[in-house]
Structure 1
């Protein structure tokens, strides 16, 4: 792994652990094993590096979601697999957690990949739900966009509840609850 990649990966981890303000260039450099000159050779500053880190995290998240939502099975099965996938629940969502960081949300270049990713996730889940309705796997009345928004809100809220309780089981309860509601619209249940 080259210096640029080490800087990005170190920043990704630090943003997830500490947020934007708590992630200093010096800490990034130390974790990456890179000098100040190397950092500024690859990036104009902390903001550009943070944007690259957020975009890489977002790309990995999208690839993982896409892999789970394109496997064979019904719409309910695919959504269930995505919601129940293994996660580091008590660390929170590496993208969703950034919405709580006022410096990220107040900086257009940093906010953009967060907003784009959460919008993409809602739209991707909307398509899966719509496919399920079209194939007769899900029964109306079920609004695909509203249901997708509820799924994403449950995931993000589940992270918050689990972190507050210091118990991953709370996240699992939130997922089980939203899946029970979705199952009421699934055929064959």
Structure 2
């Protein structure tokens, strides 16, 4: 991994662990093994590096979800694969946690990849739900947009509940509940 990549990956990890304010240039340099000169050679400053890291986390989240949505199977099987894929429920979502960071949300450039990722995710889930409705797999009266928003909320809320309880089982319980409602 080259220096630029080490800086981005280190910043991603630190943002997930500490948030924007807690991610100092010094901490990034220590984690990445890069010097100050290297950091400022590749990025104009902390906001520029944070944007690259947030964008990378958002791309990764979309890529993982897209892989689950594109796999063979029924709509419910694909949504189930997405909800139940391996996650560190106690660590939370690297993109979702940024919504609780006032510095990220206050900066339109840093907020944009977060907003775009959740809009993309909700849109893809709505498309799947509409497909299931249209093929008769899901109830004809289901609202794809509302159901998609609820599924995204279950994932993000499941992380919060799991962290609060100190148990990944709480995340699994939340997603199982959502799937039970979807299958009705």
TM-score by structure 1 length? 0.96
Which residue of 2 is the match for residue 103 of structure 1?
A: 103
Q: Where do 1:13-162 residues align within 5 Å? A: 13-162=13-162
Distance in 2 between the 1:139 and 1:154 partners? 20
Question: May I ask how many residue pairs the two structures share in their alignment?
Answer: 184
Whether the 8 Å CA contact 2:8–2:53 is kept in 1: the answer is yes
State the secondary structure of the residue aligned to 1:55.
helix
Q: Which stretches in structure 2 are left out of the alignment for 5+ residues?
A: none
Q: 2: CA distance between counterparts of 1:86 and 1:32?
A: 26
C-alpha distance in 1 between matches for 2:131 and 2:4 = 41
Return the offset for 1:137.
Answer: 1.5
Unpaired runs of 5+ residues, structure 1, are 185-189
The CA RMSD measured in Å over matched residues stands at 0.6
In 1, are the aligned partners of 2:96 and 2:114 still within 8 Å (CA)? yes
CA distance in 2 between partners of 1:138 and 1:73 (Å): 14
Tell me, in whole angstroms, the C-alpha distance in 1 between the residues paired with 2:84 and 2:140. 24
